[in-house]
Amino acid sequence: MDSLQAARYPFLRGSAKYAEANHTDIESLISSPSYENARKRGLERVLGAISDHKVGDVSLLQEYDRLMEVLSYPYARMIVSCINDRFLTKRYALAEASRMNELLSNDHASEMIVAEDLEVRSTVDTEGMVRMHFSDYLRFSHVMKAVEWKLINTDLKNGFVRIEPDKFDRLLQNALQERIESELPLNVPDAFRKALKKDIDHVAVILSETKMKLSPTGGEGMNPDYLPPCIRAILASAQNGVNLPHSARFALVSYLNALGLTYEQIIALFSQSPDFDESKSSYQIKHITGEERGREGYTPPECATMKTNGICFDPDNLCSRVNHPLSYYRAKSDFAKRDEKEEKK
């Protein structure tokens, strides 16, 4: 593998071999002044993922620049692993995968190398179209909601789906994102964690600020007036002792958790029910919020899922303009703040 390809796609096995050929090890990467630029770039990879969903471009004209780029990748992964936050891991994986997709759009010659490394079975035919095994196609296209991605709408022959290179690149993006998410967190030794502490702390602060900004409540706590009709109805049923279906209980708990309510606050709401069972409710809530698993909680379902599950109740005019209950809360909050400003004028 040439150095430019190694630098552009640092997740490839060949990139790791390129680093080894330059007599680089993890201990040197973390501590040696010679690799300060690699550490700086690694930090930039993570910060870019948090702030812009992307890994920014850098010059790769010189061999030194290419080596630093390759080494910045494992450094970034160590930072993400040490923080071990689901939101950060997913955001970082998406940023790295999106960068690969962008690079491949102008570098179709590297597609099969990337595909082989990601274990995606595929070939290029004489017309420049990609033939991708249908099982891999299904695995990496299931998150694509547009009708055009449905297997029934593809050119399927002899077990292979024939698609354009750009669409293939998009599926490779999903493949890389999935792989990075599955690989992290890495088991980073305590000695390495101490060496990375300054960068870890810096990322942790930026991450906290970003999550606060993205939170539907803006860190201000839940305002019941901003809850969508579906969540208000489910919450009222829970507090009145109605036996909720699993889909409703999941939607309610995951929604409240997404708003920033703690386990104690959520279970307090359920405790108002006349037939409240603390042990049963505790287990269910901790599982949904991730507390039981030591991870972040599940993402609350979108409006389409709520409708499918029969728990979309009394939709109002605002409901028709959003596609997620969390978007409803944000919109209500924004309207209230706007009205407040108008009143002050």
d(CA 12, CA 212): 34
d(CA 151, CA 129): 17
Question: CB neighbours (10 Å) of residue 258?
Answer: 21
Tell how far CA 50 is from the center of its chain: 10
Question: CB neighbours (10 Å) of residue 216?
Answer: 22
Take residue 280 and report the two structure tokens written for it.
Answer: 């049963």
Angle between helices 325-344 and 246-258 (to 10 degrees): 40
d(CA 36, CA 72): 10
d(CA 245, CA 107): 50
Question: What are the b/e assignments for 279-311, b being 16+ CB within 10 Å?
Answer: eebeebbbebbbbeeeebbbebbebeebeeeeb
Residues in binding site: 230, 303, 312, 319
Strand stretches in the chain, DSSP E: 122-124, 130-133, 155-157, 160-163
Residues in binding site for [4Fe-4S] cluster: 230, 303, 312, 319
With a CB cutoff of 8 Å and minimum separation 6, the contacts of 15 are 1, 6, 7, 9, 70, 73
Take residue 321 and report the two structure tokens written for it.
Answer: 């303009």
Question: CB neighbours (10 Å) of residue 220?
Answer: 11
d(CA 178, CA 141): 12
